[in-house]
Copies of this chain bind each other. A is one copy, B any other.
Amino acid sequence: MKHRFNLRNWLLLAGLLALPLLATGVFGQEAAAPADPSAYSDEAFMASDGYAVFTVNNLWICIAAALVFIMHLGFATVESGLSQSKNTVNILFKNVWIITTGILLYAFWGFYSMYPPGDNYVLVSGVFARGGWLGSAIDMMDPAKVTAEYNAGYTVWGDFLFQAMFAATAATIVSGAVAERVKLTSFMVFSVLLVGFAYPVTGYWKWGGGWLADRGFYDFAGSSVVHAFGGFAALACVLILGPRRGKYTKDGIKPIVGHSMPLATIGVLILWLGWFGFNGGSALSADPKAVSYSLVTTSLAAAAGAIGSIFTSWIVIKKPDLSMALNGILAGLVGITAGADTVSEGSAVLIGIIAGALVVGSILFFDKIKIDDPVGAISVHGICGMWGTIAVGIFSFNSEHSLFTQILGTVAISLFAFVFSYVVFFALKAIMGVRVSEEEEAGGLDVAEHGAPAYHIS
Residues of chain B lying within 8 A (CB to CB) of residue A52: 52-53, 56
Structural contact, A397 and B36, CB atoms closer than 8 A: yes
Structural contact, A295 and B88, CB atoms closer than 8 A: no
Q: Type the 1/0 row for A308-341, where 1 means its CB is closer than 8 Å to any CB of B.
A: 0010001100111111011001000000000001
Given the known inter-chain contacts A103-B299, A397-B36, please indicate yes or no for A306 contacting B96, CB distance below 8 A. yes
Q: Type the 1/0 row for A143-165, where 1 means its CB is closer than 8 Å to any CB of B.
A: 00011000000110110110010
The yes or no answer to A107 lying at the interface (CB within 8 A) is yes
Q: Which of B30, B103, B269 is within 8 Å of A70, CB to CB?
A: B269
Q: Which of B263, B329, B451 is within 8 Å of A319, CB to CB?
A: B451
The yes or no answer to A371 lying at the interface (CB within 8 A) is no
Structural contact, B341 and A296, CB atoms closer than 8 A: no
The yes or no answer to A303 lying at the interface (CB within 8 A) is yes
Structural contact, B346 and A103, CB atoms closer than 8 A: no
Structural contact, B77 and A307, CB atoms closer than 8 A: no
The yes or no answer to A40 lying at the interface (CB within 8 A) is yes
Stretch at the interface among A202-210, A286-294, A404-412, A427-435: A286-294
The yes or no answer to A69 lying at the interface (CB within 8 A) is yes
Q: Type the 1/0 row for A84-108, where 1 means its CB is closer than 8 Å to any CB of B.
A: 1110110011011101111110010
Considering the chains assembled together, what is the distance between the CA atoms of A71 and B452 in angstroms? 26
The yes or no answer to A172 lying at the interface (CB within 8 A) is no
Residues of chain B lying within 8 A (CB to CB) of residue A35: 344-345
Residues of chain B lying within 8 A (CB to CB) of residue A53: 51-52, 55
Closest B residue by C-beta to A42: B289
Considering the chains assembled together, what is the distance between the CA atoms of A58 and B3 in angstroms? 52
Considering the chains assembled together, what is the distance between the CA atoms of A53 and B50 in angstroms? 10
Residues of chain B lying within 8 A (CB to CB) of residue A40: 289
Residues of chain B lying within 8 A (CB to CB) of residue A51: 53
Which size bracket describes the interface of A in this complex? 35 or more
Rounded to whole Å, the gap between the CB of A441 and the closest CB of chain B is 14
Q: Which of B80, B100, B276, B456 is within 8 Å of A66, CB to CB?
A: B276
Structural contact, B303 and A92, CB atoms closer than 8 A: no
Considering the chains assembled together, what is the distance between the CA atoms of A104 and B301 in angstroms? 9
The yes or no answer to A120 lying at the interface (CB within 8 A) is no
Stretch at the interface among A173-181, A232-240, A254-262: A254-262
The yes or no answer to A133 lying at the interface (CB within 8 A) is yes
Q: Which of B146, B265, B320, B344 is within 8 Å of A135, CB to CB?
A: B344
Considering the chains assembled together, what is the distance between the CA atoms of A289 and B147 in angstroms? 8
Structural contact, A288 and B107, CB atoms closer than 8 A: no
Structural contact, B258 and A73, CB atoms closer than 8 A: no
Rounded to whole Å, the gap between the CB of A69 and the closest CB of chain B is 6
Considering the chains assembled together, what is the distance between the CA atoms of A329 and B93 in angstroms? 12
Residues of chain B lying within 8 A (CB to CB) of residue A56: 52, 55-56, 59, 286
Structural contact, A299 and B161, CB atoms closer than 8 A: yes
Closest B residue by C-beta to A158: B292
Considering the chains assembled together, what is the distance between the CA atoms of A318 and B450 in angstroms? 9
Considering the chains assembled together, what is the distance between the CA atoms of A259 and B263 in angstroms? 14
Structural contact, B258 and A456, CB atoms closer than 8 A: yes
Structural contact, A314 and B262, CB atoms closer than 8 A: no
Considering the chains assembled together, what is the distance between the CA atoms of A73 and B319 in angstroms? 23
Considering the chains assembled together, what is the distance between the CA atoms of A118 and B458 in angstroms? 54
Structural contact, B60 and A293, CB atoms closer than 8 A: no
Structural contact, A303 and B66, CB atoms closer than 8 A: no
Structural contact, A454 and B262, CB atoms closer than 8 A: yes
Residues of chain B lying within 8 A (CB to CB) of residue A27: 346
Q: Which of B72, B295, B326, B457 is within 8 Å of A157, CB to CB?
A: B295
Rounded to whole Å, the gap between the CB of A151 and the closest CB of chain B is 11
Residues of chain B lying within 8 A (CB to CB) of residue A266: 73, 77, 266
Chain A, range 233-277, C-beta contacts under 8 Å to B: 257-263, 265-266, 269-270, 272-273, 276
**What 8 A-B pairs have minimum CB-CB distances, sorted nearest first?**
A52-B52, A157-B292, A100-B303, A58-B288, A100-B306, A73-B269, A158-B292, A30-B346
Q: 15 A–B contact pairs at CB < 8 A?
A: A34-B344, A37-B397, A55-B56, A73-B269, A80-B262, A88-B262, A99-B303, A135-B344, A154-B288, A155-B289, A157-B292, A164-B299, A261-B455, A319-B451, A321-B451
